[in-house]
Structure 1
Amino acid sequence: MEMGFDEKEVIDALRVNNNQQNAACEWLLGDRRPSPEELDKGIDPESPLFQAILDNPVVQLGLTNPKTLLAFEDMLENPLNSTQWMNDPETGPVMLQISRIFQTLNRA
């Protein structure tokens, strides 16, 4: 707010960037992607990405493990913990599959 942005803009920037102040400042000064609205909307259930993730057998099996949900929640709140979950023998294969699917579809 000291830079002249209003409180709503600052709150949106911090929310989009997981409360990381430097990233929030860059977001405010840049193209503001993703927008708070895009963040709230999530992945379109009709999108090829969503379908590919849900159709993957490794992901399907992993989603039955409560630890996988814990991993997703922790990674959203603490992105720096993602390495821990990627290296975990229970959650790592699921996270790796989702990452591969995402990267493959983004290259297409």
Structure 2
Amino acid sequence: LDHLSVAENVALPLTVSGRPIDAGELVELLAWVGLKAQADALPPQLSGGERQRAALARAVIQSPDILLADEPTGNLDWEMSLRLLKLLVEFNRMGKTVMIAT
């Protein structure tokens, strides 16, 4: 949502579900996807890759059992693509199902 900051966008699933937001966990998740410095930025100020990483953070914030990722590395550079794929593998090691469409 363009009128919410990156942090607010990522935390939105928690807000909607009525779950409390742990600020420390939110900052850790933003750092995990490389967006800690952009926490207060609005989506129009982000690149396509940064928006994609924010969407990933929003998707995993509630630790879903199944994660569907449609071309998760499409707008990312090589280094960030590898980092993101490693994060998805780690998510899978936590017992979560990860499906990636390419």
Q: TM-score normalised to the size of structure 1?
A: 0.34
Quick check: which one's helix share is greater? 1
Higher Cα radius of gyration:
1
Quick check: which one's strand share is greater? 2
Q: TM-score normalised to the size of structure 2?
A: 0.35
